[in-house]
Amino acid sequence: MKKFLILSLASLILVASAAPAVNNQTDCNTNHVKCREYVLNLDEPWYKVAVMLTGCDVAFGKCMLGI
């Protein structure tokens, strides 16, 4: 079972990185900064802010990988 899981994860990574769409790094960085500024300026409890900041980081990673 562990071998299957590792093999599946490795193949997913290879497929996702085989031909990624190239995104402009400057746009990704700008969008990430704007997202963080927007979230930090919200008047929400700390746990909601933490979840939203995680969303900003995930979106940044997806942008940089071209997913």
Helix, coil or strand: residue 63: helix
67 lies in a domain?
Answer: yes
4 lies in a domain?
Answer: no
Q: What is the pTM of this model?
A: 0.64
Residue 46 CB-half CA count within 13 A: 0
In contact, 20 and 67? CB cutoff 8 Å = yes
Is residue 19 pLDDT above 60, yes or no?
A: no
Count the domains in the chain.
1
Which residues constitute the domain of residue 33? 21-67
5 lies in a domain?
Answer: no
Q: How confident is the model at residue 6 (pLDDT cuts 50, 70, 90)?
A: low
45 lies in a domain?
Answer: yes
Q: What is the pLDDT of residues 29-48, one digit of tens each?
A: 999 999 999 999 999 999 99
* Mean local confidence (pLDDT), 1-17: 64
